[in-house]
Amino acid sequence: MAENFHNLMMGISVSMQPYNFMIAMIGLVLGVIVGVLPGLGGANGVAILIPLTVAMQPVSGIILLASIYWGALYGGSITSILFNIPGEPWSVATTFDGYPMAKKGHAGKALVLSFFSHFVGAVLGVIMLSFFAPVIANFALRFGPAEIFSVMVLTFSAFVGLSGKDPLKTCVAIFLGFILSAVGMDIVTGQLRLTFGSIDLMGGFNFIVAVIGLFGLGEIFLTVEEGLKLDSTEGGKVTFKDMAWGVKELLIEWKALLLGCVIGCWMGLKPGGATPASFMAYGFAKQGHRKSEEFGFGASAGIIAPEAAAHGAGTSAALPMITLGIPGSPTMAVIMGGLMIFGLLPGPMLFVEHPDFVWGFIGSCWIGNFIGLLVVLAFAPLFAAILKVRFAIIMPIIIYVCAIGAYAVNNRVIDIYYMIGFGVVGYLFKKLDYPLAPLVLALVLGDMAESALRQALLISGGSPIVLIKPPIALPIMIAGLVIFFWPTISGIIKKRRLKVGPG
């Protein structure tokens, strides 16, 4: 414990170095802008800027990327509350109560509540990251290929069993992600797979390009289809009186706050990401609240719970990413892609080989989230003003920047075509309710999962029993199976109870 604390202090001092501090500030401001703009989300905001970080030190690079994420998490709520336009998918739940509250003339109060809840969620996530990450990483050092593969099975089972989406569609999305990652040269045999003689396909699909298309262009298509309606409310300035009120309100609604934080951290670890976390927290907070009829008309708890959950999920998503190499949210997946470009392989060895890097990152999570709070509290109206610029100006610029981001990953023009293709796919999948997060995650983890599986099978000489070898792989696999069939299992349990109950 003491050693961790010492390491954490070292990390914070790394992130407080003037250059890194400046990078964090730039990242936060960019992040809030990304968060405010609909059609430009955290995942593709980070993806576009990855090329810029290649020239930096790895620590500075990840500080920039993570700061964009923190900024986007804060920023999404600003426009949700002031204009009823969610700047990010994870701030959709905020519009339910944030906008009504702002409409009553309490825009400042709604913003304060949202930012404070974000901060509390972030702090809890970062505490977990600081004190559990070393423990988990230490444990994961004992993992062999079979264990790594079982963790991946658990991860994807969580998407199928716990996301509440159609399990068939989720499975298809996962398989498609893995198939896309298999295109190109096979890393073990060197054979060309799924290229069908095309030279362009030999390079495979880069997941950053996929993210920019699926989340960036897909989102733009959805936005233009619905048309952007600006329901502006007055105000948005935050006063000290609002802040005092916000603190008091948080203490009154501590249950909603706690609920949001816990759901958020769970969804970040599991992985699920910030968006489902915010919806889940809103639903649970409404169910259990004594004044649930106030929800939808500006209830404080209706802002607190989803906001705390979104940011809690965002920060705790870093925990599985940095310890196991399995990102907890799509944006974390992109950040992990950035790490791989720096030549760092996320996973337990990272703590051993590059402690300065890991702790610098964790330290910057503390600093970044704290400064982010100050930035949005002070400048919320300024960022909101960005949305006054007409969408017909912003939108083509976003596409232009997306094209740069897609090209710069591998310096290939074909990637920009892929980006547009992925945009159409993203639009269709969003409309038809195919989940995108597991697809992206499968695309990121594809090579790792495949080499883990093949190594495990090679070690065992082809016997699949190795994948359920005790003591580590077996319980993880069983947990994965239980989670996979959770909807069925919970249905059976409920039926049993009903039978026993009234009888």
Partner 1 sequence: MRKANLGVAIFLFVLGAIVMYDAVRLGFRWDPGFGPGAGYLPFYLSLGVLICTAIFIVKQVIQLSKIGIVGDKPLIQEGGLKPILWVLLPSTAMVILISIIGLHFAAFVFLLFYMRVVGKIGWLECALVSILMPIGLYVVFDRLFLIPLPDGMLGNYIKLPF
Residues found near partner 1 in the complex (CB under 8 A)? 51-52, 54-55, 168-169, 171-172, 175-176, 178-179, 182, 186, 188-189, 191, 193-194, 196, 217, 220-221, 224-227, 390, 392-393, 395-397, 399-401, 403-404, 407-408, 411, 413, 416-417, 420, 423-424, 427-428, 431-432, 450, 453-454, 457-458, 462
Considering the complex, what minimum distance in angstroms separates the CB of residue 306 from partner 1? 26
265 or 449: CB nearest partner 1: 449
Let me know if 343 is exposed, middle or buried by CB neighbors in 10 A (0-12, 13-18, 19+): exposed
Return the structure tokens found at 142.
């004992």
Query: Which C-beta is closer to partner 1: that of 144 or that of 355?
Result: 144
Instruction: Tell me whether residue 139 or residue 400 sits nearer to partner 1 (CB atom).
Output: 400
- CB nearer to partner 1: pick between 227 and 343: 227
- Cβ closer to partner 1: 194 or 493? 194
Q: Which of 41, 108, 9 is nearest to 376 (CA)?
A: 108
Residue 417 CB, shortest distance to partner 1, in Å, is: 6
Return d(Cα 209, Cα 410) in angstroms, integer.
Answer: 9
CB of 463 to partner 1, least distance (A): 10
Q: Are 300 and 324 in contact (CB under 8 A)?
A: no
Q: Give the torsion sign (CA, 352, 355, 361, 364).
A: positive
Residues 6+ apart with CB under 8 A from 475: none
In terms of Cα–Cα distance, which of 217, 207, 218 is closest to 442? 207
Amino acid (1-letter code) at residue 87? G
Distance CA 157, CA 479 (A): 9
Q: What's the angle, vertex CA 65, arms to CA 277 and CA 16, rounded to 5?
A: 110
DSSP string, 88-110: SGGGHHHHHHHHHHIIIIIHHHH
Task: Give the nearer residue to partner 1 in terms of CB position, either 176 or 474.
Answer: 176
Nearer to partner 1, 169 or 255 (CB): 169
**Least Å distance between CB 258 and partner 1?**
38
* 3-class SS of residue 192: strand
Q: How far is the CB of 133 from partner 1 (least distance, A)?
A: 30
State the nearest-atom distance from the C-beta of 411 to partner 1, in Å: 7
CB of 447 to partner 1, least distance (A): 10
**DSSP labels for 150-186?**
HHHHHHHHHHHHHS-S-HHHHHHHHHHHHHHHHSEE-
